[in-house]
A and B are shown apart, each in its own frame.
Chain A
């Protein structure tokens, strides 16, 4: 179940070719797609970064965090606070500051949650994320329930992020950088230790690994990368509200990772694209008679999630992997 193979940590050649084609398609998209869809794909890529950051906990370390949206939101809010009403702010210092803010929050909360395990971990991460949610929701100084506007995209001097295509390619570059970084990390001694913790934490501790430190480091790093996604989301949409750090957002991130397949980061990105596309699809359903199908998108999303968990518990890559296994058996 949790052998490297089951998580598809090493991607088969065929999947790698698909990924390369996917990157080419993403790079070409702004030339063929309309403005609306270019922005939508940019948002999918941002969600891809968010999903990858959670996959570091979920798929690699085996920590089911149900409060990951908190770190996504904190960096976005940091950008909102740092951007003055009437002028843009420099990308080069606000991005690190925002990501650090998320990392710091993840470090502090991680110190409490990483001590717990299993169901406990799920509940505690969720409860702490809710605390962050209420901190922003109840506090007029932090924007309250209405949220905050970000009137200007960050200014980068070298390129113009206000230009939608430039922003798209900047997001794509971030996505690729995060993917490359996490793939590298997965095969580093640190990444191997995290995978070891997923498989058997007791044994890792017996072998002399300080698992608390490793898990806390993974939690902090995942929080920082979620912060990068949140920063980009804030810059793109120009708006932050508490719902973005709420429980639904955290659960969406889990759904993205599961839908695509855990533990190899490519699955998380694929899942994020699939999930965002489905949301778009369900919200766009037409009205039949007096019944507005699209308005009740949550019902279709919920039924879809239940069906996926019941019938395809390991997501799209799980299905692909079953097919691959069948092919292997056939070839042998």
Chain B
């Protein structure tokens, strides 16, 4: 592998890792703060991708589609939290597993009724439809760099929100001790709704910006969900910093595995997970 090729793979791994981070961050926040295991998180990613497909057709612009789609997804998350999830914060994990598994079926089938079972593609926006030449023969698509940038900005925003703002302080207090935070006058119900909608929004935006690269297809949600689980297990539950580092690690192992060891590539990330579990059963960063 020469330097340019190596650079391309490196950029690809970072881009994949950051995308996984957007999903895993939402998942781990919802675990860490509400104690809810959400198997339907992958469905929000899928929802985002299909919204990007429909809305970009409607508006004729992916940017407008992403903004409109994000708003729709957040509203959808709020409605879902109010209707179902808020009744499950105190129920045991088994009930949460079943509820969210039932929801996967519902979402998958609604998707099939609304959008059909074909694979769709979403066009890369015109302004980003060019490549950066690396050598005479190799170049890197600008859209992928843009994806990484969007993920980075959102990751930074999430970090600042949680560690530097008043809302973030309340979120952390609620995660640390729900009852005590409630007694101190923090509106825990509102915080939960906000965090849930934030998680859904992040997953949907990830799906939307990934749509032009990965195309839009039926079981994209469950595939990405498993990867998120691996990321969260490696990073440690409830830790956003752990999710970032582990997502980048998984991105590296998966991307370079596919290039260097294609025959065992699909197993490599699981081997990484097993190794981490042997060494640290609680994940790299215990929250």
Report A234-283 residues with CB < 8 Å from chain B CB: 247, 251, 254-255, 258
Chain A 303-317 interface residues, beta-carbon cutoff 8 Å to B:
303-306, 308-310, 313
B93 in contact with A313 (CB, 8 Å): no
A296 at interface, CB cutoff 8 A: yes
Q: A112-B278, A119-B237, A124-B233 are in contact. Are A306 and B106 (CB under 8 A)?
A: yes
Contact B37 A122 (CB under 8 A): yes
Closest CB of chain A to B122's CB: distance in Å?
25
Assess A299 versus B105: contact at CB under 8 Å? Given A112-B278, A254-B94: yes
Compute how far the CA of A298 lies from the CA of B108 in the bound complex, rounded to whole angstroms. Answer: 8
Contact status A309-B99, CB under 8 Å: yes
Whether a CB of chain B sits under 8 angstroms from the CB of A46 is no
Flag if B277 contacts A116 (CB, 8 Å): yes
Task: State the Cβ distance, A184 to closest chain B Cβ, in Å.
Answer: 26
Among A115, A135, A305, point to the contact of B98 (Cβ < 8 A): A305
A58–B92 CA distance with the chains assembled, in angstroms:
12
Interface pair B105/A119, CB less than 8 Å apart: no
Q: A127-B229, A296-B112 are in contact. Are A118 and B93 (CB under 8 A)?
A: yes
For B123, the chain A residues whose CB sits under 8 A away are none
Chain B residues, Cβ within 8 Å of A134: 266-267
In angstroms, Cα B100 to Cα A302, docked, is 9
- Chain A residue with minimal CB distance to B232? A123
Question: Chain A residues with Cβ under 8 A from B84's Cβ?
Answer: 306, 310
In the docked arrangement, what's the CA distance between A251 and B270, Å?
20
CA distance A247 to B227 in the complex (A): 13
Question: Number of A interface residues, CB 8 Å?
Answer: 39
Expressed in whole angstroms, the minimum distance between the Cβ of A145 and any Cβ of chain B is 12
> Closest Cβ of chain A: how far from B276's Cβ, in Å?
10
Which B residues touch A119, using CB under 8 A? 31, 35, 37, 93, 237
Q: Which residues of A lie under 8 Å from residue B233 when comparing CB positions?
A: 120, 123-124, 127
Q: Is the CB of B98 within 8 A of A258?
A: yes
Known: A119-B237, A296-B112. A127 touches B98 (CB 8 A): no
Complex Cα distance A309/B39, Å?
Answer: 15
Say yes or no for A104: interface residue by CB 8 A criterion. Answer: no
Q: Count chain B CB atoms within 10 A of each CB in A64, A118, A130 and give the residue with the most.
A: A130
B97, A122: Cβ atoms under 8 Å? Answer: yes
Is the CB of A138 closer than 8 A to any CB of chain B?
yes
Q: Is A66 engaged at the interface, CB distance under 8 Å to the other chain?
A: yes
Is B183 an interface residue when CB atoms closer than 8 A count as contact? no
B125 within 8 A of A: no
- Which residues of A are found within 8 Å of B216, using beta-carbon distances? none
Kindly list chain A residues whose C-beta atoms are within 8 Å of the C-beta of B91.
313
Say if the beta carbon of B226 comes within 8 Å of chain A: yes
B273 in complex: contacting residue of A64, A127, A258, A296, CB < 8 Å:
A127
**Distance, CA A64 to CA B226, complexed state (A):** 17
Q: How large is the interface on B (under 10, 10 to 19, 20 to 34, 35 or more residues)?
A: 35 or more
Hey, which chain A residues are within 8 Å of B98, CB to CB?
251, 254-255, 258, 305, 308-309
A247/B222 in contact, CB under 8 A: yes
Tell me, yes or no, whether B1 is within 8 Å of chain A by CB. no
A interface SS class: helix
Chain B residues within an 8 Å CB radius of A214: none
* Residues in A89-120 with C-beta less than 8 Å from chain B: 112-113, 115-116, 118-120
In the complex, what residues of A have CB within 8 A of residue B266's CB? 134-135, 138
Query: Which of chain A's residues have a CB closer than 8 A to the CB of B126?
Result: none
Report the minimum CB–CB distance from A224 to chain B (whole Å): 21
A130 and B226 contact, CB distance less than 8 A: yes
User: CA A113 – CA B45 in complex, angstroms?
Assistant: 27
Chain A residues near B87 (CB-CB < 8 A): 310
Chain B nearest CB, measured from A40 CB (Å): 22
Interface pair B102/A124, CB less than 8 Å apart:
no
Q: Is A209 an interface residue (CB 8 A)?
A: no
- Please, how many angstroms separate the alpha-carbon atoms of A258 and B98 in the complex? 9
Taking the closest CB of chain B, its distance from the CB of A321, in whole angstroms, is 17
**What sequence of 0s and 1s flags, for each residue 105-129 of chain B, a beta carbon within 8 Å of any chain A beta carbon?**
1111110110000000000000000
Q: Are A122 and B93 in contact (CB under 8 A)?
A: yes
B28 → A minimal CB distance (Å): 10
Query: Shortest CB–CB separation between residue B101 and chain A, in angstroms?
Result: 5
Q: Is there contact, CB below 8 Å, between B237 and A120? A: yes
- Considering the complex, give the chain A residue whose CB is closest to the CB of B94: A64
Complex Cα distance A135/B265, Å?
A: 10
User: Could you give, for residues 221-240 of chain B, a 1 whenever the CB lies within 8 Å of some chain A CB and a 0 otherwise?
Assistant: 01000100110110001000
Could you list 21 examples of A-B contacts with CB < 8 Å?
A64-B97, A116-B281, A118-B93, A119-B31, A122-B93, A127-B270, A128-B270, A134-B267, A135-B267, A255-B101, A296-B109, A296-B112, A299-B105, A302-B107, A302-B108, A303-B102, A303-B106, A305-B98, A305-B101, A306-B84, A309-B95
Chain A contacts to B: CB under 8 angstroms: 58, 64, 66, 112-113, 115-116, 118-120, 122-124, 126-128, 130-131, 134-135, 138, 247, 251, 254-255, 258, 296, 298-299, 301-306, 308-310, 313
Those 10 A-B pairs whose CB atoms lie nearest each other, nearest first:
A302-B105, A305-B102, A299-B109, A302-B106, A131-B270, A306-B102, A123-B229, A134-B266, A115-B281, A298-B109
Given contacts A58-B94, A299-B106, A302-B106, 16 further A-B contacts (CB under 8 A): A64-B94, A66-B97, A116-B281, A116-B282, A119-B37, A120-B282, A122-B93, A127-B226, A130-B226, A247-B222, A254-B94, A255-B101, A296-B112, A296-B113, A305-B105, A306-B103
